[in-house]
Structure 1
Amino acid sequence: MGAGGYTGAGAVVAGEAVYGAILTPKGRMVTDLTTLWLGAGEGEGLGLDVATSGHAAVLGHFTRFLPPRFARVEDLGDRTGLLTVLGPRAEEVVADAFGTVPEDGYALLGGGPAGGGLLVARGVEQVSSWDIWAPAAATEGVWRRLEASGAVPVGWAVRETLWIEAGLPAFGVDMDDTTIPVEAGLLDRAFDHDKGCYTGQEVIVRIRHRGRVNWHLRAFRFGNAAPAAGQQLFEADGTKVRGRVTSVAQSPRFGQAVGLGYVRREIEPPATLRLGSGSGPEVGVEEC
């Protein structure tokens, strides 16, 4: 497992949430995930926040590679609910609802979800957000507390839009099991370069020091017309595919349709490509 600042269970400390990735021996993604230290007592250990699209793959990975004598994996997905609070007042709402917000990382309230309590975690730094995990049966009550503190329901699409605006790739949408994390811009965000002995390390080190990847995650500006994900990008009057769109959203922040996707390394942003063909609509290409 490779993760920024994460060199094994001993390097993840209480109150710290560490973003990272699990790789195949060829350096491709099994999934990305966030790791949290929940304690060393009976029934405690590491908590892993994994996207739904990476759930089956990571369980299969642990079945193959995790020695049962030394560690036990328990799937809490069906017993745990997640609520995400977004927006400029997110911290204020969470603090009012629960009486505290962790300065960084996360806090366990009432023993955390495994003990019938809550886990409150600061979201990614690019978006003002908080994640609250609770036992599934308690999720409605948690929502009522948030609602009483000023939260309003907006739906998952708003979260997706904010992540696209911030240039944050989502596993299962912008990344999959064919993605090398360097392509998705995760080299500094998800890996500790002083760490050794994680699966796929040789590939990552070789790319970092002596090689390069052919595709890079980029931000797209489409104007008023939002294309479908999966469309290809071309240079003006060109016939070779130079990129592809992986996610699209209408952006209030930018006042137009925006997206994420991959572009050939030869295309240096800022640049302009064409959607669908060499004579298609112009697409602005920017760094994420």
Structure 2
Amino acid sequence: MTVVMVEDLDPSSADAGVAAHYGDPMREQRTLATAVGLVDRSNRDVIAVPGEERASWLHTLTTQHLSDLSAFSGSELLVLSPHGHVEQHAYVTEDGETAWLDTEPGAGAGLLKYLEMMRFFTKVEPRDATSEIAVLSLVGPGAADLFPELENPRVGAVPGPKFAAGSVPAHATSQYAVRGFEGGLARRVPLGVDLLVPRAAKTSVIEKLAVPPAGLLAYEAIRVEHRIPRLGWETDHRTIPAEADFIASAVHLDKGCYRGQETVARVHHLGRPPRRLVLLHFDGIATDQPPAHGTPVTLDGREVGFVGTAVRHHELGLVALAVLKRNVTAGELRVGESVVSVDAS
């Protein structure tokens, strides 16, 4: 089997260390879209948070409602700056003894540093567990069939502006079912099932599952299609949660005070975040090559946003997630020499 690593295509990529594809990225995409494939995402950083006060502690530090975090449950959370800008995003998976936080490659050190700074006298012991735990993702409609006991993900509706206090249920806004699996954990998520397995057992787990492999290029194409934002790709130093569509999955709008809450509340109740996450379609005339992350999006020659993740999709063609100024509604949008349009669906 041909294996092309991410660093073979881009030596500077933050995603180095895992397979980009196994010889046919488009076939791998179709597998993820119609059946099930296994994507090695073991380059993700993992932070372990054991300790009897971990749930209440994470509840006070992050955007998510986690005070009732129970064994074998999962969710998502953000860490914000004092001004409400997104600094960290992580999935949280609880096994009854430890809360496991998996985040983007290279982001774990910053998350761990923040958690260690905020320990004070709390009974928690956060540590870097990247060398212990590998993340594998089963993606596609067939993933749920491999773990039928895991309930479908539940993501609550975002309340409208000026909602009544107490009207948002007092639990995590995204709820992902979890169970033990091969010495680790299986977590049901919108794209399928994520596996957090002992790194030493990664190869044996892959062999036991006997699921066709798919590379990160295929995974990213499916993620873009479903408009799922990624820290560091659809975010920059100015991003607030409402701009990158983190509100539904990672932010509880009616919980106790946390760092950056004032900005989140003000923007939500006014209903006017400065920017928005969109899906762009390229005309495919000027080029069929995905533009680099951060490439400006222009309107009549004026910069109005940036490209986050651009991919070649097996059905949609060349598309990208991008962050645009909210007031951009008409005119000729371009990325480089390519004319692009905003997906209205």
Deviation at 1:243, TM superposition (A): 2.1
Give yes or no for the alignment of 1:219 onto 2:261: no
Write the distance in 1 (CA, Å) between the matches of 2:338 and 2:127.
49
Write the distance in 2 (CA, Å) between the matches of 1:53 and 1:253.
32
Q: Could you say which residue in structure 2 is the equivalent of 1:189?
A: 249
Give yes or no for the alignment of 1:145 onto 2:211: no
Write the distance in 2 (CA, Å) between the matches of 1:108 and 1:75.
22
Q: Could you say which residue in structure 2 is the equivalent of 1:231?
A: 295
Q: Could you say which residue in structure 2 is the equivalent of 1:16?
A: 73
Q: Could you say which residue in structure 1 is the equivalent of 2:233?
A: 173
Alignment of 1:37-52 (within 5 A): 37-39=94-96, 44-52=97-105
Q: Percent identical across equivalent pairs?
A: 25
- Residue identity in the other structure for 2:150: P
Deviation at 1:188, TM superposition (A): 2.7
Moved more, 260-269 or 135-144: 260-269
Q: Could you say which residue in structure 2 is the equivalent of 1:164?
A: 224
Deviation at 1:272, TM superposition (A): 5.0
Note the alpha carbon deviations across 1:197-253, whole angstroms, 9 max, x for none: 111101111111136332211111013323412222222xx2321222121100113
Write the distance in 2 (CA, Å) between the matches of 1:261 and 1:122.
27
CA RMSD of aligned residues (A): 2.2
Work out whether residues 74 and 93 of structure 2, in 8 Å CA contact, stay in contact via their aligned partners in 1.
yes
- Residue identity in the other structure for 2:227: G
Structure 2 unaligned blocks of 5 or more? 1-60, 153-175
Write the distance in 2 (CA, Å) between the matches of 1:154 and 1:107.
23
Give yes or no for the alignment of 1:109 onto 2:109: no
Partner SS for 2:281: strand
Note the alpha carbon deviations across 1:172-196, whole angstroms, 9 max, x for none: 2222443211111222332111102
Note the alpha carbon deviations across 1:89-140, whole angstroms, 9 max, x for none: 2223x34xxxx64124233326xxxxx712011122xx3x111111111111
- TM-score of the aligned structures, taking structure 1 as reference length: 0.82
Q: Could you say which residue in structure 2 is the equivalent of 1:122?
A: 188
- Residue identity in the other structure for 1:49: D
Alignment of 1:236-251 (within 5 A): 238-251=300-313
Write the distance in 2 (CA, Å) between the matches of 1:69 and 1:187.
28
Q: Could you say which residue in structure 1 is the equivalent of 2:129?
A: 76
Partner SS for 2:244: coil
Write the distance in 2 (CA, Å) between the matches of 1:21 and 1:78.
23
Write the distance in 1 (CA, Å) between the matches of 2:219 and 2:238.
25
Question: 2:113 pairs with 60, 75, 82, which one?
Answer: 60
1:90 to 1:222, Cα distance in 2 relative to 1, 3 A: same
Partner SS for 1:11: coil
- Residue identity in the other structure for 1:273: L
Deviation at 1:158, TM superposition (A): 1.1
Q: Could you say which residue in structure 1 is the equivalent of 2:19?
A: none
- Residue identity in the other structure for 1:197: C
Q: Could you say which residue in structure 2 is the equivalent of 1:113?
A: none
Moved more, 72-81 or 10-19: 10-19
Structure 1 unaligned blocks of 5 or more? 111-115
Give yes or no for the alignment of 1:35 onto 2:92: yes
